[in-house]
A and B are shown apart, each in its own frame.
Chain A
Amino acid sequence: AQSVAQPEDQVNVAEGNPLTVKCTYSVSGNPYLFWYVQYPNRGLQFLLKYITGDNLVKGSYGFEAEFNKSQTSFHLKKPSALVSDSALYFCAVSRTGTASKLTFGTGTRLQVTL
């Protein structure tokens, strides 16, 4: 069985400050890890992924995430938050293979204020 934990329901950060949204995972074998963002009443937009290679992954809109195998973590980060980053963020894991289903975390609401 595979699972994802996002321990924070909400993260609050001031615009211009760095942000971190936490994610830990559990999966047998090598993981595929993903971050998605969801705006109200919309589907999910892909931000970034880790498949193999460099542990630091850069994605859309200035976001990046660091894969840490020993801590089974894949935290999402951004050096300088924007108010427009406010949204719901989901971490997801799957086993290798494109037909493998994604398992999502419970989501973390990011609130960026002026």
Chain B
Amino acid sequence: GAVVSQHPSRVICKSGTSVKIECRSLDFQATTMFWYRQFPKQSLMLMATSNEGSKATYEQGVEKDKFLINHASLTLSTLTVTSAHPEDSSFYICSARASNPGVATEAFFGQGTRLTVV
């Protein structure tokens, strides 16, 4: 199957600093990527849909100035958590669905990033 690489897998940062998480589709093009947040023992909460070459679409209740998303190319999307606070500590997961005709329709997920803000 297609591969989505997410980096870093784990990061610890100080309160008030910013953290950037990268999500790359390694062997397919992804016009659209998705960013999720997962709280302990809970489901995935969609934060935003990242569209290549245009602004991200944020879900209700997600602060766009807090969670900056950039989709610079068909294989890379980044999520920057700005001025991070302890309540931003969570597991962040990206996913991508192929935009190429004929490629599988399922979403492929990155390995996730465990963010801890101290």
A residues near B (Cβ < 8 Å) are: 32, 34, 36, 41-46, 49, 51, 90, 92, 98-99, 101-107
Task: Write 16 A-B pairs (CB below 8 A) sorted by A numbering.
Answer: A34-B106, A41-B91, A43-B95, A44-B44, A44-B93, A46-B1, A46-B106, A49-B105, A49-B106, A51-B105, A90-B43, A98-B99, A99-B97, A101-B34, A101-B49, A102-B34
Q: Is the CB of A41 within 8 A of B114?
A: yes
B6 at the interface (CB under 8 A from A): yes
Tell me how many residue pairs across A and B have CB atoms closer than 8 Å.
58
| CB proximity to A under 8 Å, residues B1-48 | 1, 4, 6, 31-32, 34, 42-44, 46
B residues near A (Cβ < 8 Å) are: 1, 4, 6, 31-32, 34, 42-44, 46, 49, 91, 93, 95, 97-99, 105-112, 114
Q: Is the CB of A43 within 8 A of B114?
A: no
Q: Of A51, A98, A99, A106, which one neighbours B43 at CB under 8 angstroms?
A: A106
Docked Cα-Cα span, A42 to B42, in Å, equals: 14
